C-alpha cells in the first residue's frame, strides 16, 4: 500500500501479534464486504476500530484536534486501500501500521522533515531520565494502575513517547520502528530504554508517600 510515498506492506506475522490482536466477531465478513464497496460494512469496521485508532493517534500526537483529524485520515485511507489487505496479519495490526505511517508523515510535514526523527526526538537534558546508581529499593511492581501509567506516558517527551507506544503498547519490533522512524535499531532500543527509565522516575514521583497518606488520613 502506498501512502503518499510511504510503502504500506503487510508485515510478516510477528509472534504474538494475532494473540495480542485476536480476530473480532464479524470483522472478517465486514472486511470482505467492505472490499466489495459495501458502505454498511465499512461503517461496522469504523465502529469496531475507531477507539483503538483514535487512542493510538492521541497517544502519538498528544492533541485531541490533531488526533481526530488523523483518525479521519486513517479511515479514509482504509476505505481506499482495504482491497490490498490480504489477511496475512491481524487486520488491526495492518490498520495500526497504516495509522502510524500517516501520523509520522503528518509530524514530518509539521516540521520534522528537514532533520531525521533520530536527531529531533532526543529530548532536552532536563527531560532525560536520571541515571540510577543509587540504592533506593522502592518496589514499583504492583503499585501502578492504568490511569497513573496513562498519565505518565502522556507526560513523556515526544520521542520517548513515540517509541514506547509503538513498542511496548502496540507491539512493533525494533526493526519495524527503525524503518518507520527512519532511525537505527540501536537508537530505537536506546530510546525505549530511556522512555522506561523516565516512566519509572515519573511513576515513583506520583507514588503517595507515607507522610502524605498520614496527612490525608488526618483530614
Partner 1 sequence: MTLQNSNRSNTLSCAEFQEQLPDLFAAGASNGHISDPDLLEHLRSCTNCTALVRDLQYIADQAKQLLQPTHEPSDSVWKKIQEGLSSEQGYSVLPDKK
Which residues form the interface with partner 1 (CB under 8 A)? 20, 37, 39-40, 42-43, 46-47, 50-52, 54-55, 58-59, 67-68, 71-72, 75-76, 79, 131-141, 144, 146, 149-150, 153, 164, 168-171, 174, 186, 189-190, 192-193, 196-197, 199-200, 203
Q: How far is the CB of 27 from partner 1 (least distance, A)?
A: 15
Helix (H, G, I), strand (E, B) or coil at 7: strand
Q: How far is the CB of 91 from partner 1 (least distance, A)?
A: 15
13: alpha, beta or left? (left if phi > 0; alpha if psi -120 to 50): beta
Q: How far is the CB of 217 from partner 1 (least distance, A)?
A: 27
Helix (H, G, I), strand (E, B) or coil at 2: strand
Nearer to partner 1, 125 or 137 (CB): 137
Q: How far is the CB of 205 from partner 1 (least distance, A)?
A: 13
Nearer to partner 1, 59 or 97 (CB): 59
Nearer to partner 1, 43 or 155 (CB): 43
Would you say how long the chain is, in residues?
219
Nearer to partner 1, 127 or 168 (CB): 168
Nearer to partner 1, 8 or 203 (CB): 203
Determine whether 149 is exposed, middle or buried from the number of CB atoms within 10 Å of its CB (0-12, 13-18, 19+). middle
Distance CA 123, CA 103 (A): 20
Q: How far is the CB of 103 from partner 1 (least distance, A)?
A: 14
Angle between helices 185-206 and 146-154 (to 10 degrees): 120
Q: How far is the CB of 108 from partner 1 (least distance, A)?
A: 22
Backbone angles phi, psi at 2, to 5 degrees: -105, 120
Question: Do 58 and 76 form a contact (C-beta atoms < 8 A)?
Answer: no
Question: Do 106 and 8 form a contact (C-beta atoms < 8 A)?
Answer: no
Nearer to partner 1, 1 or 67 (CB): 67
Question: Do 156 and 123 form a contact (C-beta atoms < 8 A)?
Answer: no
Amino acid at each position: 500500500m502506498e501512502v503518499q510515498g510511504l510503502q504500506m506492506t503487510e508485515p510478516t506475522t510477528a509472534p504474538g501479534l494475532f494473540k495480542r490482536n485476536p480476530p473480532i466477531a464479524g470483522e472478517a465478513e465486514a472486511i470482505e464486504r467492505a472490499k466489495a464497496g459495501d458502505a454498511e460494512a465499512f461503517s461496522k469496521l469504523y465502529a469496531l476500530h475507531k477507539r483503538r485508532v483514535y487512542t493510538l493517534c492521541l497517544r502519538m500526537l498528544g492533541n485531541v484536534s490533531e488526533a481526530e483529524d488523523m483518525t479521519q485520515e486513517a479511515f479514509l485511507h482504509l476505505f481506499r486501500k482495504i482491497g490490498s489487505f490480504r489477511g496475512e496479519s491481524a487486520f488491526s495490526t495492518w490498520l495500526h501500521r497504516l495509522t502510524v505511517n500517516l501520523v509520522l508523515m503528518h509530524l514530518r510535514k509539521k516540521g520534522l522533515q528537514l532533520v531525521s526523527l533520530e536527531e529531533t526526538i532526543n529530548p532536552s537534558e532536563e527531560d532525560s531520565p536520571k541515571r540510577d546508581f543509587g540504592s533506593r529499593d522502592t518496589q514499583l511492581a504492583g503499585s501502578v494502575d492504568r490511569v497513573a501509567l496513562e498519565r505518565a506516558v502522556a507526560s513523556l517527551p515526544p520521542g520517548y513517547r513515540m517509541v514506547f507506544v509503538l513498542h511496548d503498547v502496540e507491539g512493533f519490533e525494533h526493526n519495524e520502528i527503525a524503518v518507520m522512524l527512519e532511525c537505527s535499531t540501536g537508537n530505537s532500543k536506546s530510546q525505549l530504554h530511556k522512555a522506561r527509565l523516565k516512566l519509572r522516575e515519573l511513576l515513583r514521583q506520583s507514588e503517595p508517600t507515607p507522610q502524605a497518606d498520614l496527612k490525608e488520613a488526618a483530614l
